[in-house]
Amino acid sequence: MGSPRWKRLCLLLLAALTSSVLLYGHYYATVESPTSQRIIASLLQPQPLILASSGTSHRAGSHRWALGGGLERGKFFRPSTDLEEPKPSRQQPSTCPSSVMARAKADPKFGDIFLFDTPVLMWDQHFTTETWDRLKTRHVPYGWQGLSHTAVGSTLQLLNASANRQLFDRDSFPGGCVRCAVVGNGGILNGSRQGKAIDAHDLVFRLNGAVIKGFEEDVGTKISFYGFTVNTMKNSLIAYEEYGFSQVPQGKDLRYIFIPSDIRDYVMLKAAIQGRPVPEGSDRGDRPQKYFGPEASAEKFKLLHPDFLQYLTARFLRSELLDMQYGSLYMPSTGALMLLTALHTCDQVSAYGFITSNYEEFSDHYYETEKKPLVFYANHDMMLEAALWRSLHRAGIMTLYQR
Ligand SMILES: *[C@@H]1O[C@H](CO)[C@@H](O)[C@H](O)[C@H]1NC(C)=O
Ligand SMILES: *[C@@H]1O[C@H](CO)[C@@H](O)[C@H](O)[C@H]1NC(C)=O
C-alpha cells in the first residue's frame, strides 16, 4: 500500500497528463487539424525503416524487429558540409576488441539499424534556415513545430563551445576504449552490490530521480552525465523527495544532457547558461543554479538533437502507441534516450537498473522501502524498450544487468 502522499501525487500526475492530453487534442483539433495519422506520417517520413512489433500482445518478448524497404542510408541526416561536425576517431581502438560499433555493424539485424554518423547533439551552427524549415514541421521532441524562432535561436546561439559539439573529449581517454555505464533507477538494483562495477566505468550516465546517498553499494557514486527534461527533473524532485532525491546531482565534472521535449527545455537551458532566472513560461522565476549548481557556462550543458530523437524513435523504438489516438504524446523514456545516447557515443556500454524480463520481481525503483509495481506511463512503451535491451544484450552490443 502506498502512503497517502504517494496517492495524492499519482492523482496529481494523472490529472496533469489528462489535461495535457486534452490540451494537445484541442491544439491539434483547432489549430492544425491534421489527423493523428498525418502527425505520425511526418514523424516517420524521413526514415522509411519501420521497426514494427509483430504481436498485438504487450507481453515482454512479443516484439520482433522488421525492416521496411527503401532504406536510403544517411540521406536525411547528413549535415550540410559547412557544418563543423566532430570527427571522433570512432575507428575501433585496438584496446577495444568488441566495441558497440564493431558489434553493431557485424550484426545481421542491427547492422542496418544503427547509423553512427547521425548527429547526437545540437549546437549553434545547426540553427540555419534549412534546419528551421525542416524542424518546424515536426512537433517536439522531434522538431520545433509551434516554438518561437527567437526562443530556439537565442538558446542555440549560446551553445558555441567545442564542448557543445561532443559528449566528451576522446583525447582524455588515452586508452582509446571509452567504457560507459548507464544507470536507470529500476528496483533490480536494490541489494545488487553493483556500485563498484558501475564506478569502474570511464563515464557514468544517470537520470531523473537518481538517488545516490544511502545506495552507494548498489548504484555507486560516480556521475559524469545527468539526463532529463525539465518536466521529468522537476517531477522527480517532487515524487522522490521522500526517498532522498531533494537535489539534482551537482559536481565540477558533471555535465547535463537536456532532452528538448518542450519549449521549457530551451528556455531553461538558455537561463542556465546565462546564470539568470528563467524569464518566461511555466518555469518563470526559477533559478537554474538551484538545479545545476553555481557554474553557468555553455560547457556545462549538452542538448540532444531533435533529428537524433526522431532517428531513435523511428529506428529503435517505433511503438504501436504512435498509431493510437494520442500518438503524438509518445516518446522513448528518459532512460531509453540516455542508453541510446551512450550506445552512439561510447565504445562499450553497460546498462544497470533497466527493465528486464523479470521486472515484476522488483520494485519500481531501487530506493523504495516497500515494493511498488512498475508504473507504466501512457506516453512510454516499456515493453518495447525491454525487448530492445534484451535484443541488444543478446547481440553482444551492450551488457544488460540482470538477476
Ligand atoms: C560564445 O558566445 C558568447 C555570447 O555570445 C561569447 O561571449 C563567447 O565569446 C562565444 N564563445 C566562443 C567560443 O565563440
Ligand atoms: C530492498 O532490499 C532490502 C534488503 O534486501 C529489502 O529488505 C527491501 O524490502 C527491498 N526493497 C524493496 C522495495 O523491495
* CB of 394 shorter than 6 A to ligand 2: no
Rg (CA), the chain: 20
209 vs 11: CA distance, rounded Å: 19
Burial bucket for residue 265 (CB in 10 Å: 0-12, 13-18, 19+): buried
* CB of 191 shorter than 6 A to ligand 2: yes
Task: Give pLDDT tens digits for 361-393.
Answer: 999 999 999 999 999 999 999 999 999 999 999
* CB of 160 shorter than 6 A to ligand 1: yes
CA–centroid distance, 182 to ligand 2, in Å, is 22
Q: Atom 8, ligand 1: which residue's CA is nearest?
A: 160
Query: How much is the pLDDT for 316?
Result: 98
Exposure b/e, 9-20, CB count within 10 A at least 16 = b: beeeeeeeeeee
Burial bucket for residue 392 (CB in 10 Å: 0-12, 13-18, 19+): buried
Query: How much is the pLDDT for 29?
Result: 29
Q: For residue 160, give the ligand nearest its CA.
A: 1
C-alpha cell at 158: 549560446
Strands 203-207 and 301-303: unpaired
96 vs 349: CA distance, rounded Å: 12
Please report which helix (H) or strand (E) contains residue 18, including its range. Answer: helix 4-27
84 vs 281: CA distance, rounded Å: 32
Query: How much is the pLDDT for 314?
Result: 97
CA–centroid distance, 362 to ligand 2, in Å, is 9
290 vs 271: CA distance, rounded Å: 12
Q: Atom 13, ligand 1: which residue's CA is nearest?
A: 161
Q: Atom 1, ligand 1: which residue's CA is nearest?
A: 160
Residue 88 has pLDDT above 50, yes or no: no
Task: Give pLDDT tens digits for 96-126.
Answer: 878 999 999 999 999 999 999 999 999 999 9
CA–centroid distance, 355 to ligand 2, in Å, is 17
CA–centroid distance, 159 to ligand 1, in Å, is 8
Instruction: Select the more confidently predicted residue: 401 or 174.
Output: 401
| Helix, strand, coil percent content, the chain, rounded in steps of 5 | 40, 10, 50
3 vs 48: CA distance, rounded Å: 47
Exposure b/e, 330-367, CB count within 10 A at least 16 = b: bbbbbbbbbbbbbbbbbbbbbbbbbbbeebeebbebbb
CA–centroid distance, 201 to ligand 2, in Å, is 26
Residue 91 has pLDDT above 90, yes or no: no
Residue 224: pLDDT band (50, 70, 90) is: very high
* CB of 154 shorter than 6 A to ligand 1: no
CA–centroid distance, 160 to ligand 1, in Å, is 6
* CB of 364 shorter than 6 A to ligand 2: no
Residue 239: pLDDT band (50, 70, 90) is: very high
Q: Atom 5, ligand 2: which residue's CA is nearest?
A: 191
Ligand 1, atom nearest to 298 Cα: 1
CA–centroid distance, 403 to ligand 1, in Å, is 48
Q: Which residues contact 288 (CB under 8 A, 6 or more apart)?
A: 268, 271, 272, 275, 276, 277, 278, 296
Place of cell 529503435: 316
190, 363 contact by CB (below 8 A): yes
Residue 93: pLDDT band (50, 70, 90) is: low
CA–centroid distance, 351 to ligand 2, in Å, is 21
Least confident of 7-21, 121-135, 340-354, 385-399: 7-21
Least confident of 30-39, 98-107, 155-164, 168-177: 30-39
* CB of 371 shorter than 6 A to ligand 2: yes
Residue 308 has pLDDT above 70, yes or no: yes
Query: How much is the pLDDT for 94?
Result: 54
Task: Give pLDDT tens digits for 323-341.
Answer: 999 999 999 999 999 999 9
Please report which helix (H) or strand (E) contains residue 205, including its range. Answer: strand 203-207
CA–centroid distance, 242 to ligand 2, in Å, is 16
C-alpha cell at 272: 542556465
Query: How much is the pLDDT for 352?
Result: 98
Place of cell 527534461: 229
Ligand 2, atom nearest to 362 Cα: 14
Ligand 1 pocket, mutate which of 156, 159, 160, 164 (most atoms under 8 A from CB): 160
Ligand 2 pocket, mutate which of 188, 190, 367 (most atoms under 8 A from CB): 190
Q: For residue 363, give the ligand nearest its CA.
A: 2
Query: How much is the pLDDT for 174?
Result: 86
Mean pLDDT, the chain, rounded, equals 83
CA–centroid distance, 386 to ligand 2, in Å, is 23
CA–centroid distance, 366 to ligand 2, in Å, is 8
Q: Which residues contact 402 (CB under 8 A, 6 or more apart)?
A: 188, 356, 357, 358, 393
C-alpha cell at 300: 556545462
Ligand 2, atom nearest to 371 Cα: 13
Q: For residue 2, give the ligand nearest its CA.
A: 2
